[in-house]
Structure 1
Amino acid sequence: MHYVGGPTALLRLGGVRLLTDPTFDPPGEYPVASGRLVKTAGPALAPADLGPVDAVLLSHDQHADNLDRAGRECAAAAPLVLSTASAAARLGGPVRALPAWESYTVGGRPPVRVTAVPALPGPPGSEPLTGEVTGFVLTGEELPTVYVSGDNASLDVVRTIAARLGPVDIAVLFAGAARTPLPGTGHTTLTSEHAAAAAAVLGAHDVVPLHFEHWGHLTQGAESLVAAFEAAGLGHRLRLPRPGAAVEL
């Protein structure tokens, strides 16, 4: 895995290259209802540095911290984008809607089976405010099973995924305890404590956090993650990425 920054990373499974939520803008501001989102750091790698991708895993398109302006250009140029029905309707082009629990096979040797799974970015009932979001589970013959959470803040959702598709080998968890200006949404990604709990529920032997830095509305960072995983006795499972660096799993 190569970590770009924020929610963006290039995952390599076998011969398949998958890019999570593309964000490639420099630092800046983005208006949202009742306020703004502030990007505090630019990407450590540009799309050209990453090379070609086989597909983009886009958890959702409606929030700039998961798909910024340059990220939209990157997604539009990709051969395939797997996302929500809402994103497919808004973005068009290579975006394919993948409803929860349905799967799509991305070619390669071996191919990777991408299964969409639920995600809840906030408390139950906040969906009309936050919009549609998805996560993904990646599987393939002789490949590790990988869960990419997207913007999910619900441990109940994680338990449902684990019961249906788990255990997983690698958990890529959007942490940072994001709190946007939208009233009534609460945290829209996992807190550090919930990320550690999610790792235990999933049985993951490697946990890579994403979306825990580089945006002003993220309220918990690397130190909080390390403390929470150590407190849960899972510090040996945490793989904190460094911007621009590869994480070998």
Structure 2
Amino acid sequence: MTDIALTYIGGPTALLEYGGVRFLTDPTFDAPQTYEPRNGVTHTKTHGPALTPNELGVVDLALVSHHHHGDNLDILGTALLRDLPLTISTTKAAEDLGGTVVGLEPWASVRVGQVTVTAVPALHGPPGSEGRGPVIGFVLQTAEAPSVYVSGDNASLLYVESIAERFGKIDIALLFAGAARLPVAEGDLTLSSADAALAAEILASDTVVGLHTEDWGHLTESRKDFRKAFADRGQYVETPRARRVILRNA
């Protein structure tokens, strides 16, 4: 069995090595910029990636929680998908993007090498936010390694509870936070730092990584806020940019 390791790239994007497979989460590789308004919303990227696509090495597949917001799949991130052997995302993303994108409905699974990837439900905002478009998270499992949850842009603790009911303890949680807010929507669109701590409790996770806590103007909480929410809990793992961090030893 190989080590479970993570290299943080920026925003929601990280390279996760798990079960002999190299997963890329929500690819965002554009330089800082303000994007043309889409659906009445202007997004501003404040910081570029720590690594370029050419510096990643081999990537076996991307896990894309959703494709319709640029802070989770930007221009260069979308271009990168065309070079990957596989991307797992929503069924809507598979329909719109084509290529090697495979769409999963919540609770559906696919096998990648020795890893079972299960799509899990996510809600991009408070109750009633379903109209923002489909979003999923992912649970990764193998027979020989701890389980991993990649939340995607989920703000619902009720969905986190449903994941815990289905899978039991989730050993490692990669939680997208930042308490994203937009003028066209009410409430947090992603987990706040406090809710991320509650999610980790629900999942009984003993290793937690915070993603989606910086690099975009509509995030109202920072990596510092996330770290503070996990003070004295012993779960939080610091992941400096572009540095490979071992989450669990083989």
TM-score band, normalised by the shorter chain?
Answer: over 0.9
Note the C-alpha offset of 1:39. 0.3
Residues 1:181 and 1:78: Cα distance change in structure 2 (over 3 Å): farther
Distance 2:42 2:51 in 1: 25
Cα offsets for 1:22-74 (capped at 9, x unmatched) = 00000011223333110000000111111121111000000000000000011
Q: In structure 2, list runs of 5 or more residues that go unmatched.
A: 1-5
Match for 1:11: what amino acid? L
Distance 1:181 1:74 in 2: 30
Distance 1:78 1:10 in 2: 14
Cα offsets for 1:68-117 (capped at 9, x unmatched) = 0000011121101100011011100011011110100112xxx1100000
- Residue 182 in structure 1 maps to residue 184 in structure 2: yes
The aligned counterpart of 1:167 is 169
Distance 2:165 2:41 in 1: 38
TM-score by length of 1: 0.94
Distance 2:139 2:185 in 1: 30
Distance 1:211 1:142 in 2: 29
Note the C-alpha offset of 1:189. 0.9
Cα offsets for 1:179-237 (capped at 9, x unmatched) = 123334x211100000001111101110001000000111111221122122xx41x11
Match for 2:125: what amino acid? G
- Give the secondary-structure state (helix, strand or coil) at the position aligned to 1:162: helix
Distance 1:227 1:11 in 2: 24
Match for 2:209: what amino acid? V
Distance 1:206 1:181 in 2: 34
Distance 1:226 1:135 in 2: 22
- Residue 48 in structure 1 maps to residue 49 in structure 2: no
The aligned counterpart of 1:6 is 11
The aligned counterpart of 1:239 is 237
- Residue 65 in structure 1 maps to residue 59 in structure 2: no
Aligned match for 1:126, one of 129, 133, 140: 129
Distance 2:89 2:127 in 1: 21
- More deviation, 193-202/27-36: 27-36
Match for 1:96: what amino acid? V
Match for 1:12: what amino acid? E
- Residue 147 in structure 1 maps to residue 149 in structure 2: yes
Match for 1:223: what amino acid? K
- Give the secondary-structure state (helix, strand or coil) at the position aligned to 1:124: coil
Match for 1:209: what amino acid? G
Contact 1:105 1:113 survives alignment (8 Å): yes
Distance 1:29 1:180 in 2: 15
Distance 1:183 1:33 in 2: 12
- Give the secondary-structure state (helix, strand or coil) at the position aligned to 2:42: strand
- Give the secondary-structure state (helix, strand or coil) at the position aligned to 1:22: coil
Aligned match for 2:84, one of 57, 71, 78: 78
Give the % identical residues: 53
Distance 2:215 2:74 in 1: 13
Distance 1:124 1:78 in 2: 34
Aligned match for 2:38, one of 13, 32, 35: 32
Distance 2:10 2:63 in 1: 15
Distance 2:93 2:40 in 1: 22
Distance 2:75 2:43 in 1: 13
- Give the secondary-structure state (helix, strand or coil) at the position aligned to 1:127: helix
TM-score by length of 2: 0.94
Q: In structure 1, list runs of 5 or more residues that go unmatched.
A: none
Structure 1 runs of 4+ off > 4 angstroms? none
Match for 2:191: what amino acid? L
State the Cα RMSD in Å: 1.1
Residues 1:52 and 1:181: Cα distance change in structure 2 (over 3 Å): farther
- Give the secondary-structure state (helix, strand or coil) at the position aligned to 1:34: coil
